[in-house]
Amino acid sequence: MQISVDPDRTTYEMFKNDVRRFNQQALLELIATKCSALQDKEVMRWSPYFPWALAATAQASLLYGNPYRSTIPREADLARCCLLYSNITPLETAGAPLTAPLSVLTRIAFEQFPYQESGSEEVARADAFFNGYSGRKTLEVISEETLNELLGASVTEAVGVGLLLHGGAYHNRGYYDPGWLDQPNFADVLEVVPRHTIENVIKTHYLIDIPGFRAKAAEAPANALLPQYTFNPLTERPFIQMSDGRALAPVPHLVTRKLSPIELYYAGIKRFGVAFTRDMGELFEDYVGRQFETLPRATVTPEIEYRVKKDHVKTVDWFVNLGSHLLLIEAKASRFTLGSRIGDEPLETQLQNTIGKAFTQLNRTHKALLDGQLGESLPRDLPVIGIVATLDSAYGMNGVFVRKLLPDTDMPVLVASARDIEMLVAIGQREDINPILQGIISGEQATWHLGPALSEHYQQGDKNPLHEAAWAKYPFS
């Protein structure tokens, strides 16, 4: 299959115009078929069908295409669209913030890495995060009732509907047909999750029509120099309402990611304001502590309040005594903005205001520990490792380009996403994580994303206890 793409200059406009040549529904169906096939096998290096390129092609078709075009796309046409997208030449000028190495690496990571991660952790995290809360503090707005409002059902039921939708889309070329619920073979499904619940979750959480899709895209901030990195509403509403009444998920992978707590972040802010983000911070802090409490050889202590002259000061969120090391853990639940994700100017400021403040807190707590201000419950003679736990992805946060923007620390520090923490805890059910962490911080892996650094220690049978408990509760799991 010979496909010609100019390697010297490809613009987003060229990509967009190529996409809009085709019948919209036929192209979306072809994308969904290809995306479903990718879930069974890895993308070959020579293949143009990278999932992020397919998602961008679907986005362009929904924004600029129409159902009246008569040209039906073939696989070669879709391959050309994906190649055009992958070959887009950035329009930023040399020396601008967008050309800095950190900016380039950040937008590539946030565009591509989510499509290469398993969705099972995102699904399991939902119940463990919301329903497993210890209740140690009273939350301001998040409750069973408010989550029902955001999801259209309880967390457990919404996950069940999401699993049903993903399975349907995966086995039916991206489609979910509401008429399936009338079939006799769905009677058992409706005994587990009532029909009105399924329909409410789909309407509230998953489905959007094409005018609504375009309106959401128009609301999102765009960067004229990087039009290919604009917000894709499919990440918020992965199913498109088709004219025949069916719903099509052009990128079925996004259906399971929609179940992750972080995907409720902006919806919660829009409905309940900043109080929702404060509650998310409390829930995440609690979640991180409960994760480490499952380690069989660890002693976990929550934050300690101490005095500095007349002021009351709080330590980091958690102390984890592993026997040969003491972990100081600070949890951050804030999410990177769209501008930060593409490497725009707010990136440095956001890093300093989140990860940077966590580094400062780790230093302050470590000094208080060594000065004996935290009481006798914590050992002062153990080597200390700091961990900044993030609810959002932590791509590149341990790399040199990020670290030079942050305060120096008097201990080794690793930035770890929720997914990284979950993998570390799963490994820790089987073996001591002390030597693993020591090996990472003392070698070149200290600058890696923690997940890949842990992957060589992870075994197929490793299970995260909180995730296993969550899966046991879910319908259709």
Q: How far apart are CA 343 and CA 425, in angstroms?
A: 31
pTM as predicted: 0.93
* Across 111-124, average pLDDT: 92
Q: Are 314 and 303 in contact (CB under 8 A)?
A: yes
* Across 215-240, average pLDDT: 91
pLDDT at res. 60: 98
Q: Are 192 and 476 in contact (CB under 8 A)?
A: yes
Q: Minimal CA–CA distance to 101: which of 303, 401, 359, 437? A: 401
Q: Angle CA(163)–CA(44)–CA(87) in degrees, nearest 5?
A: 100
Structure-token pair, residue 436: 């693993």
pLDDT at res. 45: 63
Over residues 314-367, the pLDDT tens digits come to 999 999 999 999 999 999 999 998 889 988 878 999 999 999 999 999 999 999
Structure-token pair, residue 79: 């391959």
Q: Give the alpha-carbon dihedral of 29, 31, 35, 41, to 10 degrees.
A: 110
Determine which of 11-15, 88-92, 207-211 has the lowest per-residue pLDDT on average.
88-92
Q: Does the pLDDT at position 200 exceed 80?
A: yes
Burial 146-161 (b: 16+ CB within 10 A, else e): bbbebbbbbbbbbbbb
Reported as a pLDDT band with limits 50, 70 and 90, residue 7 is low
Q: How far apart are CA 72 and CA 310, in angstroms?
A: 74
Over residues 389-399, the pLDDT tens digits come to 999 999 999 99
Q: Which residues pair with 318 in a beta bridge?
A: 302, 329
Highest mean pLDDT pick, 167-171, 219-223, 284-288: 284-288
Backbone angles phi, psi at 321, to 5 degrees: -90, 110
Give the contacts of 298 (CB within 8 A, at least 6 positions apart).
Answer: 292, 320, 321, 322, 428
Structure-token pair, residue 220: 């999102």
Q: Does the pLDDT at position 158 exceed 70?
A: yes
Average pLDDT, the chain: 92
Q: Does the pLDDT at position 94 exceed 80?
A: no
Q: Does the pLDDT at position 40 exceed 80?
A: no
Structure-token pair, residue 94: 């040399």
Domains of the chain by start residue, with CATH: 12-109 (no CATH), 119-267 (no CATH), 280-464 (3.40.91)
Reported as a pLDDT band with limits 50, 70 and 90, residue 92 is low
H helical segments located in 75-203: 75-86, 101-112, 120-130, 144-151, 155-171, 187-192, 195-201
Determine which of 95-99, 274-278, 402-406, 410-414 has the lowest per-residue pLDDT on average.
95-99
Q: How far apart are CA 476 and CA 191, in angstroms?
A: 12
pLDDT at res. 223: 81
Over residues 443-464, the pLDDT tens digits come to 999 999 999 999 999 999 999 9
Q: Minimal CA–CA distance to 246: which of 475, 25, 19? A: 25
pLDDT at res. 4: 56
* Across 147-169, average pLDDT: 94
* Across 177-185, average pLDDT: 94
Reported as a pLDDT band with limits 50, 70 and 90, residue 9 is confident
- What percent of the chain has a predicted confidence (pLDDT) above 70? 96
Q: Are 297 and 432 in contact (CB under 8 A)?
A: yes
pLDDT at res. 99: 84
Chain CA centroid to CA 8, Å: 34
Q: Give the alpha-carbon dihedral of 171, 173, 177, 180, to 10 degrees.
A: -30
CA distances from 211 to 63, 122, 201, 232, 233 (A): 9, 29, 20, 14, 12
- What percent of the chain has a predicted confidence (pLDDT) above 90? 82
pLDDT at res. 181: 95
Q: Minimal CA–CA distance to 291: which of 218, 389, 359? A: 389
pLDDT at res. 372: 94
Q: How far apart are CA 69 and CA 264, in angstroms?
A: 36
Q: 320: part of which helix (H) or strand (E)?
A: strand 318-321
Q: How far separated are the first and last CA of the chain, in Å rounded?
A: 40
